[in-house]
Amino acid sequence: MATLSNKERVGKALDLLAEGLLPFVSPRMSAAAGANGGDWVALLEARDEAKHGRKVAHIKEDPGLLLRVLTEEWRIFASDLSRVEQSFASELREVRNRHAHNAAFSPDDTYRALDTMERLLTAVGAVPQAEGVRRLRADHQRAQFEAETRKLVRQQDATVSVAGQGLKPWREVLAPHDDVASGNFSSSEFAADLHAVKFGEDDPSLGREYAEPVEFFRRTYLTEGLRDLLDRAVRRIGGDGNASPIINLQTNFGGGKTHSMLALYHLMSGTPVRSMPQEVQDLVGDRGLPQHVRRVVLVGTHLKPTGDRKDDGTQVNTIWGELAWQLGGREAYDRLAEADAKRTNPGDLLRGLLADYGPALILIDEWVAYARQLWNREDLEAGTFDTQFTFAQSLTEVVKTVPGVLLVISIPASHDPEKEPGAGGSAIEVGGPNGQEALQRLQNVVRRVADQWRPASSQESFEIVRRRLFTEPTATASADIAAVARQFVQFYARHSGEFPREVKETAYENRIKAAYPLHPELFDRLYEDWSTLERFQRTRGVLRLMSTVVHALWVAQDASPMILPGTVPLDVPTVASEITQYLPDSWKPIIDTDIDGTNSTPARVDTERPLLGARAVTRRLARTMFIGSAPTLRSAHRGVERQRVWLGAAVPGDTVGNFGSAVELLSQRATYLYAEGNRYWYDTQASVTRTAADYADGLRDKPEEVWAEIVRRLQPEARHRGGFAAVAVAPDASAEILDGEEVRLTLLHPSRPHSKGAADSPAMAFASEAFERRGTAQRTNRNMLVFLAPDSKRLDELSESVRHYLAWTWVSGRRDELDLSPQQLKQVESNVARNNDDVTARIAQTYHWVLVPEQPDPGRGAVLAVEKAEGANPRLAERVTDKLTRSGLLAGSVAARAIRLDLDQRLSSKWERGHISVGELWGYYCRYPYLTRLRDRSVLVDGVESTLMSMTWEREGFALADSYDETSGRYNGLVLPGGDALFGQITDSTLLVVPAVANQQIAADVVPPPGPGPVGPGPVPSVIGPTPPLPPPGPSQPTRYFGTLRLDPERYGRDLTRLSQEVLQQLAAVGGSTLEIRVEISAESASGFPDDKIRIVLENARTLGFDQSSFEDH
């Protein structure tokens, strides 16, 4: 069969991804689109049509659509997926776009895409599809290792290989297992799991070391914790009533839970103990094990919440139904069939079931992953969320009372995403809020009754990794290992000042022998530093990385006496890919240019200095500094100490005195290497950044300088008022905020941020004071205030950006003093521009909390309501205007009926007098937040005048009058709206008259027509006084033209020329006409716009005088 290409593998995986995501996405989206009949696809189509102006049909099964929904509508899935799991969907959107555009996929890209798809499918409970992607990934790894092996054989001459003085190469002492040597390690080690061992007899990717009990124990080191676990199992299954009936395996991500369960599974397999390795025989002793132990394996990531149909047609719905089925097939299942069908806890039925089908070993892994899928779902065959934990309590209580039954449950370590945002491993295992709730509930049940398990210590981890990767040492090999350990320690002793103190002690010699052929320093860096990174699974992560390293060194015939950080071949693509998957992508080119590779800076130094190049000193040191520092960049103590750099690189036969010279030369020439005191580290930014970073760190103690820069940048916002009469920027006190009769927006000082739900934030405190008082005086026009405050969390990000901007500006101003090179000058200018744009963008993102007075009940006091004004518009006042207008909290125009509504409801006591003056009414609008907030007096005047055109003014408007004569009780200049009613200028003395009162006065003034006969029906004059002459009739001509046009983005120059010639010139030729022309541009790039293009476009837009111009995330 032909080998699939990388693109074909990704395509097949995307098909599986869509198949697995649809049952997860569709029900949740349908529920969210309930008002639209549940048709979420139609809702998205309508939304896209409104946004883009054209209708595009969506296909529900399209992986691109499903991934888009997961990312853009993430709030709908926030309870089901953790933030880490949601990030998988974001990453896969780019994968799908690249695949759709026929982009090439490198081996690294392919592996990353397949791995991420498998993780996302597992997170949503798509078990079969996740298994299909896993097989594609295993096949890809196998093909990649074979190709890499062929390449390494061809490139042996270029490999860094340094022999130790008088020492055998490690490869002549201890050979790796065949699967490691051949490169098949990953496909067997990391494809296998508890479920695969139980049900995957026909799975070709399942290696013997996991499938066969004897081989499994031959490669498994029995730690103290694992010995204790197996001993308890032997006692419990053997009928010892004092042995632990329930054991809780709870540890961090990659802590060995599944491996321990596999050990229990194989120990109870019925395989004769005498065929097991001696240490297993010694552990069991003469106690013996029952001939037949029923083994139940329940792995949550492989259990379907929709149930499972067995080969005989039996539908098993619940986890207790599956338990019964595995214990005794259909016969045992029938005993719980009713509880399974009704999805109810079987309760005490479990006691008889376990008693009749014992002895039994019950292993439950990934229970949290299974239970979290049931949250807030009443329609799933697996039962409800609450029933899961009722069953868990029943199961634990029953197991305690049934001899010969052992229950082992694996639970992820606790993880609070708010307090531990970096605990990515726990987030992956637990999931979102639903997973957190499931974990908490399960812990409450299990911890009461279960004994805890002890994971492996760091010292034991040496043997775990060594035994899994390498064959057992012979007597001769053991002697060679002891000789190597002794010579290393003696070498360290001869250079005692160059290495850490502990390496000269006997205990360290024992560590070398225990870890051989891997050096303890390599172990320490991986377990202490790399294991803190997201997705690095401690022992399993070390195994995975070191299998790749050992394979590469074995094929290259490495001559080194041990495998140290300095001998990790980062120039081999598979090794570099494996280690950089835990780091940002920006590390890959840095490794190629500054750390390892034939053309890297260390390699050039070694080539130029034969004394160093003879033993690849510089290159080994660079590798060691990378291994020791890369995972520490975001920690408080980044970098690796000089003595540990020497320890990770030196082997007997090296001249340690040359190491200092090599590091000095490398520091002078490497772009990304930093040195501070006796610590070294590689960074993702060039070293000129260090000067700016130090200055920026110093600004943390000078927040006033950061605030001053933010205020300076806010000042221009005063010229862009939006729907406000004025904008005040960062007043220091309430006295600086005018008490005027127009709505003012006040941008609060950056020292006064607000956070969601905080009633006592600095912003709230200041706004409350300004609302009540102006300085020491009471504020009169309290309804004319609106405040815009920065978000406290985003303010931290903004402050960080400002510090960087100020730092780079400071460096730019001292270019001569710092003696910057042309390349560094270019970098400084680029960073100044980039940080300047970043600060500008972040200001708009940070200032989004609108504090606005509101008084829903006139009988109660006013409060400051909080609105969130976000959007793409960088002009703060315009964005706030849009938000408040849509929320009904600010009006730039008002209809007569709205004024009438306020008069009838809020101001009824004043309106009952029969009239109210415009001046008095405007005063109320300015003072009382329970009335509509009008921008300024002109809005009210326009609203009052609009009543004249109303045909329903008696219900929704009012009459107008110039004044009221108290003596006669009549209104002067009374005008009733409707028809051709006209009124003079609206002033403060203009009266709004109650329609009924106005009609009474008009009715009293009606004069009967002359002549005999009764008065017939006819029109009643609506204006007291002479009627103004009507304008002579005549034909009317259109006075305004408007039009919109969508240009062809490929030929916009042609279209703009035709638009100018055929439309604009014709309009401009009309005498007295005025033209207003607006241009709107929207551009999107799936891969993101590069920094240089962003800078050029923004600078050109500013030069051309664009009103609005910005880039944003989709």
DSSP string, 884-934: HHHTTS-BS---HHHHHHHHHHTTHHHHTTSEEEHHHHHHHHHH-TTS--B
**pLDDT at res. 146:** 65
pLDDT confidence band for 418 (50 / 70 / 90): very low
Confidence at residue 320, expressed as pLDDT on a 0 to 100 scale: 94
Q: Phi and psi for 868 in degrees, rounded to 5?
A: -105, 115
Strand partners, 296: 362
- pLDDT reported for residue 425: 40
Taking 50 as the threshold, does the pLDDT of residue 130 lie above it?
yes
Q: Read off the pLDDT of residues 233-248 as tens digits, 9 standing for 90 and up.
A: 999 998 888 888 999 8
Under 8 Å CB-to-CB from 154, ≥6 apart: which residues? none
Between the CA of residue 1054 and those of 97, 291, 703, 1078, what are the distances in Å? 30, 86, 53, 18
Average pLDDT over residues 625-650: 89
Residue 345 predicted with pLDDT over 60: yes
Reported confidence tier of residue 189, pLDDT bands at 50, 70, 90: low
- Residue range 246-257, pLDDT digits in tens: 998 876 545 578
- What domains appear along the chain, each with residue ranges and CATH number? 6-154 (no CATH), 212-452 (3.40.50), 470-684 (no CATH), 697-886 (no CATH), 896-1004 (no CATH), 1084-1114 (no CATH)
pLDDT category at 789 given cuts 50, 70, 90 is very high
* pLDDT value for 372: 86
At 518, the pLDDT band (50, 70, 90 cuts) reads: very high
Average pLDDT over residues 859-876: 88
Say if residues 518 and 466 touch (Cβ distance below 8 Å): yes
Partnered with residue 746 across adjacent β-strands are 728, 787
Buried/exposed 264-294: b ≥16 CB within 10 Å, e otherwise: bbbbbbebebeebbeebeebbeeeebeeebb
Instruction: Answer for the pair 324, 338: CB distance below 8 angstroms, yes or no.
Output: no
- What's the chain's Rg over C-alpha atoms? 39
Report which DSSP code applies to 1064: I
Hey, what are 1005's tokens? 């003034």
Which tokens go with 934?
Answer: 């009008």
Q: What is the pLDDT of residue 47?
A: 84
Which pair of tokens denotes residue 361?
């070993």
pLDDT single digits (tens) 83-121: 888 888 989 999 999 998 888 888 888 988 998 999 899
Question: What is the C-alpha to C-alpha distance for residues 454 and 951, in angstroms, rounded to an integer?
Answer: 85
- Is the separation of the CB atoms in 577 and 140 below 8 Å? no
- Cα(291)–Cα(275) distance, integer angstroms: 15
| Residue keyed to tokens 């498998």 | 118
pLDDT recorded at residue 379: 83
Query: Omega before 517 cis (within 30°)?
Result: yes
Structure tokens that stand for 173 in this block: 């002492």
pLDDT over threshold 70, residue 638: yes
DSSP-derived 3-state class of residue 344: coil
Q: How confident is the model at residue 422 (pLDDT cuts 50, 70, 90)?
A: very low
Quote the mean pLDDT of the chain: 84
pLDDT band at 57 (very low <50, low <70, confident <90, very high): confident
In the block, tokens 């006075």 appear at 1039
| Residue 176 three-state SS | strand
Q: Which of 207-221, 310-324, 339-353, 714-728 has the lowest mean pLDDT?
A: 207-221
pLDDT, tens digit, 9 for 90 and up, residues 801-856:
999 899 989 999 988 887 776 656 876 887 899 899 999 999 999 999 999 999 88
DSSP structure string for 566-604: GG--TTSHHHHHHHHTTS-TTHHHHIIIIISSTTSHHHH
**Dihedral sign for Cα atoms in the order 756, 760, 761, 763:** positive
- For 133-142, 260-269, 357-366, 1088-1097, which range has the lowest pLDDT when averaged over its residues? 1088-1097
Instruction: Indicate if the pLDDT at residue 1011 is higher than 70.
Output: no
Q: What is the C-alpha separation between 626 and 649, in angstroms, rounded?
A: 12
Give the tokens for residue 653. 């036969």
Distance CA 490, CA 286 (A): 45
Q: Which run of H or of E encompasses 336? A: helix 319-342
Q: Is the pLDDT of residue 468 over 80?
A: yes
The predicted-structure confidence for 730-785, as pLDDT tens digits, reads as follows 999 999 999 999 999 999 999 999 999 888 999 999 999 999 999 999 999 999 99
Q: Which residues contact 72 (CB under 8 A, 6 or more apart)?
A: none
Would you state the pLDDT for residue 1114? 58
Q: What is the mean pLDDT of residues 899-913?
A: 91
Q: What percent of the chain has pLDDT over 70?
A: 88
What is the structure's pLDDT at 1107?
Answer: 78
Q: Are strands 673-676 and 679-682 parallel, antiparallel or unpaired?
A: antiparallel
**C-alpha–C-alpha distance, residues 736 and 714, integer Å:** 16
**Cis peptide bond prior to 359, omega within 30° of 0:** yes
**At which residue do the structure tokens 């097939």 appear?**
329
Written as six digits, the tokens of 1049 are 């983005």
Instruction: Express as a percent the part of the chain with pLDDT over 90.
Output: 39
Segment 18-40, tens digit of pLDDT = 999 999 888 888 888 876 667 88
The span from the CA of 584 to the CA of 593, in Å, is 16
Q: Give 867's DSSP letter.
A: E
1033 versus 178: which is more confidently predicted? 178
Q: What is the mean predicted confidence (pLDDT) over 1088-1094?
A: 80
> What is d(CA 49, CA 58) in angstroms, rounded to the nearest whole number?
11
Cβ atoms of 219 and 177 closer than 8 Å? yes
HSE, CB side, 13 Å, CA atoms: give it for residue 680.
Answer: 23
Closest CA to 934 of 620, 626, 723: 723
What the block records as the tokens of 174 is: 């201890």
Task: Give the model's pLDDT for residue 1050.
Answer: 67
713 C-beta neighbours (distance < 10 Å), count: 16
- d(CA 302, CA 125) in angstroms, rounded, equals 8
- Least confident window among 124-128, 336-340, 394-398, 957-961: 124-128
Between 56 and 655, the more confident residue is 655
Cβ within 8 Å of residue 1014, ≥6 positions away = none
Residue 1010 has pLDDT above 70, yes or no: no
Does residue 967 contact residue 953 with C-beta atoms inside 8 Å? no
pLDDT tops 70 at residue 689: no
CA-based nearest residue to 679, from 710, 711, 641: 641
Question: What average pLDDT does this structure show over 1076-1102?
Answer: 80
State the pLDDT at residue 358: 85
The confidence score (pLDDT) of residue 801 equals: 92
Rounded Cα distance, 947 and 978, in Å = 8
> Which of 41-50, 105-114, 352-361, 1016-1025 is predicted most confidently?
352-361
Model pLDDT, residue 51: 81
> In terms of Cα–Cα distance, which of 603, 583, 601, 740 is closest to 673?
601
Q: How far is CA 38 from CA 42, 66, 736, in A?
A: 9, 16, 53
Provide mean pLDDT across the span 1089-1093. 79
SS3 299: strand
pLDDT single digits (tens) 536-563: 777 777 888 899 999 999 988 899 999 9
What backbone phi and psi angles, to 5 degrees, belong to 1040? -140, 140
Give me the phi and psi of 850, to 5 degrees please: -95, 120
User: Which pLDDT value is given to residue 161?
Assistant: 60
Tell me the mean pLDDT in the region 430-449.
81
Residue 930 has pLDDT above 70, yes or no: yes
What's the mean pLDDT in 366-388?
Answer: 86
Q: What average pLDDT does the segment 382-406 reach?
A: 91
Task: Give strand ranges (E) for 678-835.
Answer: 679-682, 726-729, 744-747, 773-774, 777-778, 785-790
